[in-house]
Structure 1
Amino acid sequence: MLFFLVSFFPFLILLFKFLPLQPMPSWASEVTLLSNLFWKEFLYSLVKSLRNCSLLSARILSISSSMSSKRRCAPRVEIEEESVDMSVLDLPELALECILGKLSPAGLCNMAAVSSSLRDRCRSDHLWERHMKEKWGRVIGGVAYRDWQLYSASRKDSLGGVVGSTKQKKWIGAFSCVWPLSWLKSRIESSSKPSNPLPDDSIMSWYLSLESGKFWFPAQVYNREHGHVGFMLSCYDAEISYDHHTDTFHARYPPHGRRTIVIEEGVQWDRIRAPPVDTPAHDLHISDCLNDLHPGDHIEIQWRRNKEFPYGWWYGVVGHLESCDGNEHFCHCHNSDTIILEFNQYTPGSKWRRASVNRKDHREGGNETDGFYGGIRKLHSKYEIAKWKKMWPTEVLE
């Protein structure tokens, strides 16, 4: 190395002496930058090597002195076993998995910062699937999952970016094949990327985005706008975001008609649900249960005030025809083409109390005065029925 330096300096002196004083080409500044980087790295490596040699020499001297002292004291001192500290990584594989499986999300995040080995283990999807299902399973549906995939893909595109400009890539690639400048490309690329980034498509990343409130996802809100009387016993589509400070949600309702975007804060968990169907809020839901509806069945039906409004899902029950006395032994309402729907939250005689739909001819029905009725879904789950009854208004609506 010393011979290289001694022979290299005269070459530089002769080169600069016989070069004509002409304007430097455009690539000269880049070569100067490479030269500065080379000598800076070379000096850094030289100092580091000398330092390592001194540390190694000191270590060897201390080991030899300690060994000689042990030999002198060997006849008078009994040999004792050295105590070895045991870490969590020394545990059997099954025991370690059981411990990690008992940790909370915060515990997994803290454990992931201990070492690279634990980091990879604590980010495993199978550890986060349980936490995702326990906390978010009731409000996350298939539509939200598809939106998350699009969201994570867009983040990859925006963050995947270029390491440097095209010009920088060209001259780095040209010189990277020549030693000792091969380190230059790797150092620049590594410095531009975050160390050990969290995969955007991992369940842990999805969970943390939900927890932080950064990801707004589609869901439905019961009795929207703080239980406004015009929305009692209904459930409307919204985009919601979690607020971990209050353990509630922000709900953002899309604009419709002359109304602008409405944002409701402080929405409790029990007022949120995952959309039961994938039908968009402005589309008619295709019913597949009309032939199976009988008096007493619990249903949800699409309803909107006018054509500009989105549909909301409203709770009701199937009633009897006016010609039927309600006797279950003589009732033939299920054979009729007309289905009577009852909304018992309204007073008897109210125009909102009863409605009829055609069992055979499925289409949107209604008018600008009474609103428009859309698709119907039959409720089979006792949990869904109990959820609607829990939202029942304290007073009968007019």
Structure 2
Amino acid sequence: MLLYFLITCLSFFLFSKSLSLKPLPPWACEARTLLSFWFNNRPSLGSSFKPAKKTMPRNPKPPTASEVVSPAPGEMSVLDLPDLALECILDRLPPSGLCSMAGVCSSLRERCVSDHLWEKHLKMKWGKILGPAAHREWQWYIASGNDLGCVDKQAGHRGFVKLVSLIRSISSLFRSKVVNSLNFDGFGDENKQQRQSNSSSSLPVDSIMNWYLALETGRFWFPAQVYNRENGHVGFMLSCYDAELSYDPHSDTFQARYPPHGRRAVAVEKGVTWERLRAQPIDASPHHLHVSDCLNELKPGDHIEIQWRRNKEFPYGWWYGVVGHLDSCDGNENHCHCHLNETVVLEFNQYTLGSRWRRTTVNRRDHREEGNEADGFYGGIRKLKSQEEICTWKRLWPVSVLE
């Protein structure tokens, strides 16, 4: 693909030489802009293709309406480049680059907001923590008429400044025919009235690009699960609970809201890192008992997650454990028949020997919810078959043994 792209660039160079003394058409300058965006985002190529120092100013400002040059009748445009070459360039741009290129013209804008371009960015950054529940929540969110709205007037963090510029550029692209300046002073009454008057040309709310921007700004709260909730509270070590999450672009972390239960109010945790998040493995309410479908195949050494809750008013959380041996078994694999017994031993080795939380048993044939108000209630079981899931739990293992 890269070879084809370089051949296309070489053809373009030879074609420009064939124009002899005639001035280059406007599309040549536009093509140079596209190429500069692509090469600037390929660090491995930056050393081989260094642009001239005076080609671009340090802080380029978006062109005004009078500065935008349209090709004269009969002249070629950047859109006359082969579709494959143009798509290759756009496909390699980051989200901020796509937003910038969308300001060149309406035709490029239609290309740059295409779902197939943004779907890749959505999956790459958000795919591991967005499950079916998050998709349903997004559909409800856009159906209720929510929009990106305004971005807080805050600065001081480099990543957040880029994010504000990205959102500002999209807002100006779809709510005005002129590309506005990307600074923090553009949220005045005059611009606000202009955006309202041009709301008919806004970005489609059901587009993947809109979803990506809603996630990036933190305005969209979505359901997911958090490992070791409430900053690794000892009472939740090696567990995973449902929560509503909002992204914080300042710190590249999340804010989590845990639903209320019993007499306990909503718990809020800030600074949740990406490594402590996952999408729900089971698409169901945390108050619903999971019907176990793996009991007959469980054997000593298998890694499992089991639902547990303190009492009937609490939601279930998923707790990590392993299948152990019966008391009558010496643990020798050549003589072990634990997998044939109706009783399945579950061990939680993060707890010390003798702890009431260290070990429990379930019936292989008719296991439902078991337990009491003192020791809590054990629910459905799911067998972990993914090595990635198992490694995640081991990485979260507590430093010291729990009581």
TM-score, structure 1 as length reference? 0.70
Distance (whole Å) between structure 2 residues aligned to residue 115 and residue 262 of structure 1: 47
Per-residue Cα deviation, 1:294-342 (whole angstroms, up to 9, x for no partner): 0000000000011111100000000011111111111111111111000
Partner of 1:388: 393
How has the CA–CA distance of structure 1 residues 91 and 347 changed in structure 2, closer, same or farther, with 3 Å as cutoff? same
Alignment of 1:141 with 2:82, yes or no, is: no
CA RMSD of aligned residues (A): 1.8
The match for 2:307 among 297, 302, 305 is 302
Aligned AA for 2:82? P
Partner of 2:143: 153
Per-residue Cα deviation, 1:174-229 (whole angstroms, up to 9, x for no partner): xxxxxxxxxxxxxxxx9855152111111101100000111100000000000000
Alignment of 1:235 with 2:240, yes or no, is: yes
Distance (whole Å) between structure 2 residues aligned to residue 240 and residue 106 of structure 1: 23
Q: How does 1:349-364 map to 2 (within 5 A)?
A: 349-364=354-369
SS, match of residue 138 in structure 1: helix
Tell me by how many angstroms 1:113 deviates. Answer: 1.9
Distance (whole Å) between structure 2 residues aligned to residue 343 and residue 80 of structure 1: 80
Structure 1 or 2: larger helix share?
1
Aligned AA for 1:277? I
Tell me by how many angstroms 1:152 deviates. Answer: 1.2
Distance (whole Å) between structure 2 residues aligned to residue 83 and residue 237 of structure 1: 59
Distance (whole Å) between structure 1 residues aligned to residue 207 and residue 217 of structure 2: 16
Per-residue Cα deviation, 1:85-144 (whole angstroms, up to 9, x for no partner): 323323221111001001001111111122111111000011011101110011111111
Distance (whole Å) between structure 2 residues aligned to residue 228 and residue 80 of structure 1: 74
The match for 2:92 among 102, 122, 128 is 102
The match for 1:336 among 312, 334, 341 is 341
Tell me by how many angstroms 1:84 deviates. Answer: 2.1
The match for 2:286 among 258, 273, 281 is 281
Distance (whole Å) between structure 2 residues aligned to residue 293 and residue 220 of structure 1: 25
SS, match of residue 90 in structure 2: helix
Distance (whole Å) between structure 2 residues aligned to residue 389 and residue 306 of structure 1: 27
Q: How does 1:153-232 map to 2 (within 5 A)?
A: 153-155=143-145, 192=197, 194-232=199-237
How has the CA–CA distance of structure 1 residues 237 and 321 changed in structure 2, closer, same or farther, with 3 Å as cutoff? same
Q: How does 1:257-296 map to 2 (within 5 A)?
A: 257-296=262-301
| Amino-acid identity (%) | 68
Tell me by how many angstroms 1:81 deviates. Answer: 3.0
SS, match of residue 110 in structure 1: helix
Partner of 1:84: 25
Distance (whole Å) between structure 1 residues aligned to residue 351 and residue 401 of structure 2: 6
Distance (whole Å) between structure 2 residues aligned to residue 323 and residue 80 of structure 1: 94
Aligned AA for 1:219? A
Distance (whole Å) between structure 1 residues aligned to residue 135 and residue 25 of structure 2: 48
Partner of 1:119: 109
SS, match of residue 109 in structure 2: helix
Partner of 2:122: 132
SS, match of residue 144 in structure 2: helix
Distance (whole Å) between structure 1 residues aligned to residue 400 and residue 21 of structure 2: 82
Tell me by how many angstroms 1:156 deviates. Answer: 7.3
How has the CA–CA distance of structure 1 residues 252 and 156 changed in structure 2, closer, same or farther, with 3 Å as cutoff? closer
Aligned AA for 2:267? V
Aligned AA for 2:133? V
SS, match of residue 322 in structure 1: coil
Alignment of 1:319 with 2:324, yes or no, is: yes
Runs of 4+ more than 6 Å apart: none
Per-residue Cα deviation, 1:216-275 (whole angstroms, up to 9, x for no partner): 000000000000000000000000000011100000000011110011000000000011
The match for 1:347 among 352, 377, 389 is 352
Aligned AA for 1:258? R
Which sections of structure 1, spanning at least 5 residues, go unmatched? 1-78, 160-189
TM-score, structure 2 as length reference? 0.69
Distance (whole Å) between structure 1 residues aligned to residue 320 and residue 21 of structure 2: 78
Which sections of structure 2, spanning at least 5 residues, go unmatched? 1-19, 32-77, 150-194
Alignment of 1:255 with 2:260, yes or no, is: yes
SS, match of residue 128 in structure 2: coil
The structure number with the bigger radius of gyration is 1
SS, match of residue 155 in structure 1: coil
SS, match of residue 257 in structure 2: strand
Number of equivalent positions: 289
How has the CA–CA distance of structure 1 residues 156 and 235 changed in structure 2, closer, same or farther, with 3 Å as cutoff? closer
SS, match of residue 341 in structure 1: strand
How has the CA–CA distance of structure 1 residues 191 and 343 changed in structure 2, closer, same or farther, with 3 Å as cutoff? closer
How has the CA–CA distance of structure 1 residues 308 and 102 changed in structure 2, closer, same or farther, with 3 Å as cutoff? same
SS, match of residue 132 in structure 1: helix
Distance (whole Å) between structure 1 residues aligned to residue 263 and residue 279 of structure 2: 27
Per-residue Cα deviation, 1:261-290 (whole angstroms, up to 9, x for no partner): 011000000000011111211110011101
SS, match of residue 145 in structure 2: helix
Partner of 2:402: 397
SS, match of residue 283 in structure 2: coil
